Structure 1
């Protein structure tokens, strides 16, 4: 599944609200049933899969399906424990405590989704541990408060194993606190249906783009660091639907974002030409 646009669903998720309409998602396996059982049994979940394969859209869909608010946190190298938990702010009348997004999710019983969790510092990831086992609590050292997670709270993290394996990974003591759901690019017919709907493309164009994407993914063994995601195929479909010529759309939305290396770009250009005769 493609990941979401920065629209209604994304805004609602970031603010901790419940999406008003169902985020589009086509299951590729039993991931929906597995996640529902994890939520019912208060189990933390790890979503593993390549960039742009639908992890974020899946969690948005599940939050809507379960009727839970969704708080999304984009992890990065500078993400501190205070960014998650909260901090004291200086105001004109003194200092006041302000909850961070993780704390709000714990209090409100929301699903808290940490995207690309391994990008965060290890000392930041450790604060998640008490929320992933039977304790389901969040200690706040700065205030001396310990918050018990409200009913409905669930911790969900995601990461790209192929990319992270070359850089950094989660510690085993953290990984074993999660139930892991493996994601990959959808089967051909499913991916065509996704690109057709999300890209406002006709069936023939969607099929050609997905076929191109699968051919390009075969270049990973030839040095392509990141293969084209469903998200990129949708971007190309939208450009084509707007009137941009097919080859131009593919070069701008798929080939150029993937590599600057002349040999690889040339090989991808040839595949584009072969896909749109």
Structure 2
């Protein structure tokens, strides 16, 4: 594979990531032995940004796949396509990553069917190979190749969870929303608002997360808090920005909306 293809997937500039614990050191150690890594945590808490930051820090290409329930094994490994000259093989993102030595990030992997995720198994043990059965080729992974998966344990169910045979191929890092003072720092940096306002947004988020399981499936994510801050930075009234970015995406239940709106009104 040409260097130009590899360069295409490099992260061009340093993504902002605020380390919360020792996740950077742990990931670097895992990458040094090419351990497959599983990131577990709620939506919008920084899992994807972390992977981007680590790919930049290690100067490795990153290929991200947003998993969904319609994704097939062919979507990951590749397929034959028809063109004017007949049939030609096109590698899927997992195969490209294995060939060029990229970090392959499968985001929300539990959304994919279990028969699809099985194709990663030969890449996540001592073999580090990817069989392309339709093409009759066995791809040996590049020495730099690593696979990273993420999912949200809060949405686990018996129907949507990883098999133990898949889980036990990975080292795991737990992610969660940061403490309010760190979250405020992230909000201020990403949205450009002042510390006082960022502190208030972080406190609102804390209150919403206490409602998880009591009317809310998920609390307000760090991502949504940044959206609210960006709206305020553009001159939008803080209450209106919070309603648009924090409350309306989260729930359609009128009582829960009133509860969250009341929390916002106590801060603004």
Which range moved further: 86-95 or 163-172? 163-172
The answer on 1:160 being equivalent to 2:152 is: yes
Q: Which structure 2 residues correspond to residues 134-145 of structure 1 after superposition, within 5 A? A: 134-145=126-137
Cα distance in 2 between the residues matched to 1:65 and 1:154: 15
User: Are 2:166 and 1:177 equivalent residues in the alignment?
Assistant: no
What SS does structure 1 have at the residue aligned with 2:60? coil
Matched, 1:68 2:60: yes
Partner in structure 1 of residue 253 of structure 2: 261
**Deviations 1:117-162 (Å, cap 9, x if unpaired)?**
0000111000000000000000000111101100110000000001
Partner of 1:102: 94
Query: TM-score, length-normalised on structure 1?
Result: 0.93
Give secondary structure in 2 for the equivalent of 1:18: coil
Pairwise CA distance, 1:275: 1.2
Pair 1:124-2:116 in alignment: yes
- TM alignment of 1:28-47, pairs within 5 A: 28-47=20-39
Q: 2:143 aligned with 1:151, yes or no?
A: yes
**Could you tell me how far 1:198 is from its partner in structure 2?**
0.3
Q: Provide the alpha-carbon RMSD of the alignment.
A: 1.1
C-alpha distance in 1, partners of 2:44/2:159?
19
Q: How far apart are residue 166 of structure 1 and its match?
A: 6.9
- Report how far residue 165 of structure 1 moved: 3.3
Q: 2:125 aligns with which of 128, 133, 136?
A: 133
In 2, Cα distance between equivalents of 1:118 and 1:17: 24
Q: Which residue of 2 aligns with 1:6?
A: none
Describe the SS at the equivalent of 2:13.
coil
1:83 aligns with 2:86: no
> 1:227 Cα deviation (Å)?
0.9
Equivalent residue number for residue 8 of structure 1:
none
The CA deviation at 1:16 is: 5.3
TM-score normalised according to structure 2 size? 0.96
- Structure 1 unaligned spans of 5+: 1-14
Give me the whole-angstrom Cα distance separating, in 2, the residues matched to 1:141 and 1:265: 52
Number of the residue aligned with 1:249 = 241
The match for 1:10 is none
Q: Deviations over 1:19-59 (max 9, x none)?
A: 11101001111110111111110110000000000000000
Q: Does 1:273 align with 2:265?
A: yes
In the alignment, is the contact (CA less than 8 A) between 1:16 and 1:70 conserved in 2? no
**SS at the partner of 2:143?**
coil
Of residues 213-222 and 179-188 in structure 1, the stretch that sits farther from structure 2 once superposed is 213-222
Separation in structure 2 between the aligned mates of residue 252 and residue 42 of structure 1, nearest angstrom: 42
State the distance in 1 between where 2:213 and 2:93 align.
Answer: 40
